[in-house]
């Protein structure tokens, strides 16, 4: 017989941590038919003699819920050898949604995930009302890679409670209705449920994101849905302080694990140079939860974010900034110039927040006003010294003088801490946020960065271990049983890369390719030679084949 595809002479890394080995892989239809010495010919053959053949990578944390409407390739995640994504994280998404809730739903995405509202207004097709219809629309639309959907709690509360979802907890009757909708979503194929407790996650017109107002009784009821279904997982954005889980956060994780009987992943675990031991102490304290299926997510890249005062997400956990959201530019400029606003901002900086006010770490990346060009690549602290002004005033004054077009950047990097967390079995590597914060950061290349930086250059992990961390581990967590490993009979999701060159580009690039011409950061990939999804070649040496072979993935039942 002739196979549809034969990959010959590759170095196979199976995704399970086994030592690499030389073999051919035969594909028939969308499945792996044979691994070993393949004598039969293929209708198409790939010579992988100098290449690594691995399972397609699995990204557990993305926000492509809206982008799938206008970008079936889910760029730029798919450029990096990722063949399966899980979206609908952090309690925010686009389904279910009644027509009169569309504006609120879009603004929630804008405020929480920094996706331009104008692009959402132009790009989201809204060819669904219920969550099962949303999954069905994705299947009809076709996509380049496989997509899994968490059921984000916020739109479910909007669907039942309307605007009161942003004001209070649900009644017992409302809770029952929301739980029934979640049950319907799980039956249709949702990967689980997501929510958030973070103060920076604000929704429509600066109100708390609706899921943040869910009571413990609500959350207990929603977790029970997963227990009855015997499948799915819970994702929660949780930790208010770097590397710490407070007593109340611990109690919430315990409740979700107990009431669902299912795995729970939370965001995020990280370290700081000032307190490098804190993350390990936290993980040790959390081991009783980890043994029951709790797993924190970590990012394997430095955190580098651009700050945009038109969409001030970075300051969303500060009460002084709530009035700056969803306002015209002229109104924002007036606010930023107001001495009372500046005084309130100054007061907020005296307590712990997402933005620390360390002005020597905030760099002026790009300006549009020619008179301000001399400040590019300087820190706000340096510019303040040059202007003989206070740094906070300089930060806001420069923005106003540039009509709020100015782009700042802020970097946080603790190399030893990242090494510690990505090698710790008590964590899951993820946190790409693909599709979100589009003009601030782009970590969609985390998988190629892991291979290029932490495997090849730093030798912090073996190749086999690193591939396992970004394939079978996230797949197993979400119950994706037929992907994330190379094994006869499983789906043929395969990434073929050059070990000597695989990497994420050194710097993200700005592209004006969102609906309406809005801009976003994109991260090119290096060294990814072929990406095969369900047996079909999606990319060959960075060029799209024209095929859209992705499928909707659904979680398996409890083993």
pLDDT digits (tens, 9 = 90+) for 25-38: 999 999 999 999 99
Q: Which CATH superfamily is domain 57-302+413-512 in?
A: Metal-dependent hydrolases (3.20.20.140)
Yes or no: say if 551 and 538 are a contact pair by the CB < 8 Å rule. Answer: no
Q: Is 444 helix (H, G, I), strand (E, B) or coil?
A: coil
pLDDT of residue 250: 97
Domain with CATH 3.20.20.140 in the chain: 57-302+413-512
For all residues of the chain together, what is the average pLDDT? 94
For the entire predicted model, the pTM comes to 0.88
CA dihedral 531, 533, 535, 539 (to 10 degrees): -30
Cβ neighbours for 237, distance < 8 A, ≥ 6 positions apart: 89, 90, 91, 195, 196, 197, 198, 201, 266, 267, 268
pLDDT of 154 > 80? The answer is yes
Residue-wise pLDDT tens digits, 507-548:
888 899 999 999 898 999 999 999 999 999 999 999 999 999
Tokens representing residue 530 in the block: 């072929």
Yes or no: say if 147 and 138 are a contact pair by the CB < 8 Å rule. Answer: yes
- What is the largest distance, in Å, between two alpha-carbon atoms of the chain? 78
pLDDT of residue 356: 81
pLDDT of 246 > 60? The answer is yes
> How far is CA 324 from each of CA 314, 335, 336, 374, 539, rounded to the nearest angstrom?
12, 7, 8, 28, 42
Q: Is 161 helix (H, G, I), strand (E, B) or coil?
A: helix
pLDDT of 414 > 80? The answer is no
pLDDT of 287 > 70? The answer is yes
> How far is CA 77 from each of CA 11, 52, 99, 395, 523, rounded to the nearest angstrom?
24, 19, 30, 33, 9
Instruction: For the beta carbon of residue 493, count every other beta carbon within 10 angstroms.
Output: 37
For CA atoms 259, 263, 268, 271, give the dihedral sign: positive
With vertex at residue 448, the alpha carbon angle to CA 413 and CA 469, rounded to the nearest 5 degrees, is 85
Q: Where are the alpha helices (DSSP H) in 78-196?
A: 102-113, 117-123, 131-141, 153-161, 172-188
Give the mean model confidence (pLDDT) for residues 207-218.
Answer: 96
**C-alpha–C-alpha distance, residues 353 and 163, integer Å:** 28
Yes or no: say if 505 and 525 are a contact pair by the CB < 8 Å rule. Answer: yes
Give the mean model confidence (pLDDT) for residues 434-440.
Answer: 88
Yes or no: say if 86 and 234 are a contact pair by the CB < 8 Å rule. Answer: no
Give the mean model confidence (pLDDT) for residues 126-151.
Answer: 97
pLDDT of 559 > 50? The answer is no
Q: Is 1 exposed, middle or buried (0-12, 13-18, 19+ CB in 10 A)?
A: exposed
Q: Which residues is 52 bridged to in the sheet?
A: 11, 497
């Amino acid at each position: 017989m002739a196979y549809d595809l034969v990959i010959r002479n590759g170095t196979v890394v199976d995704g399970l941590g086994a030592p690499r080995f030389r073999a051919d892989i035969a594909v028939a239809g969308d499945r792996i038919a044979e691994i070993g010495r393949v004598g039969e010919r293929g209708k198409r053959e790939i010579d992988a003699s100098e290449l690594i053949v691995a399972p397609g990578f699995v990204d557990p944390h993305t926000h492509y819920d809206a982008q799938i409407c206008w970008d079936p390739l889910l760029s730029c995640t798919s450029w990096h050898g990722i063949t399966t994504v899980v979206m609908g994280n952090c309690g925010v998404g686009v389904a279910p949604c009644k027509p009169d809730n569309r504006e609120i739903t879009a603004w929630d995405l804008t405020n929480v995930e920094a996706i331009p509202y104008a692009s959402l207004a132009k790009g989201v097709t809204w060819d669904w009302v219920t969550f099962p219809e949303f999954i069905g629309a994705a299947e009809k639309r076709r996509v380049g890679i496989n997509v899994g959907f968490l059921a984000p709690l916020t739109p479910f509360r909007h669907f039942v409670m309307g605007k009161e979802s942003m004001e209070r907890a649900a009644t017992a009757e409302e809770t029952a209705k929301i739980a029934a909708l979640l049950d319907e979503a799980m039956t249709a194929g949702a990967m689980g449920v997501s929510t958030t407790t973070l103060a920076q996650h604000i929704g429509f017109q600066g109100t708390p994101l609706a899921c943040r107002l869910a009571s413990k009784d609500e959350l207990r009821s929603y977790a029970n849905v997963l227990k009855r279904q015997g499948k799915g997982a819970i994702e929660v954005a949780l930790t208010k302080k770097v590397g710490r889980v407070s007593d109340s956060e611990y109690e919430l994780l315990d409740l979700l694990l107990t009431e669902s009987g299912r795995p729970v992943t939370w965001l995020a675990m990280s370290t700081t140079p000032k307190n490098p031991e804190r993350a390990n102490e936290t993980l040790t304290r959390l081991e009783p939860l980890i043994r029951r299926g709790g797993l924190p997510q970590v990012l394997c890249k430095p955190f580098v974010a651009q700050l945009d005062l038109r969409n001030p997400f970075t300051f969303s956990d500060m009460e002084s900034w709530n009035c700056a959201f969803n306002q015209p530019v002229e109104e924002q400029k007036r606010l930023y110039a107001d001495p009372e606003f500046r005084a309130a901002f100054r007061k907020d900086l005296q307590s712990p927040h997402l933005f620390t006010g360390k002005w020597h770490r905030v760099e002026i990346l790009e300006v549009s006003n020619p008179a301000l060009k001399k400040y590019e690549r300087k820190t706000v602290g340096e510019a303040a010294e040059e202007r003989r002004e206070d740094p906070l005033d300089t930060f806001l004054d420069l923005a106003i003088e540039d009509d709020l077009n100015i782009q700042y950047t802020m970097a946080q990097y603790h190399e030893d801490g990242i090494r510690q967390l990505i090698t710790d079995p008590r964590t899951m590597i993820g946190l790409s946020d693909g599709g979100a914060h589009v003009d601030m950061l782009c970590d969609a290349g985390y998988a190629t960065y892991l291979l290029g930086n932490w495997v090849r250059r730093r030798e912090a992990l073996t190749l086999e271990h690193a591939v396992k961390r970004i394939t079978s581990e996230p797949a197993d967590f979400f119950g994706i049983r037929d992907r994330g490993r190379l094994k006869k009979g499983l789906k043929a999701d395969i990434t073929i890369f050059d070990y000597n060159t695989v990497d994420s580009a050194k710097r993200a690039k700005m592209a004006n390719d969102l609906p309406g011409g809005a801009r976003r950061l994109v991260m090119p990939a290096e060294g990814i030679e072929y990406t095969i999804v369900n047996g079909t070649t999606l990319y060959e040496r960075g060029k799209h084949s024209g095929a859209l072979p992705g499928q909707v993935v659904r979680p398996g039942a409890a083993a």
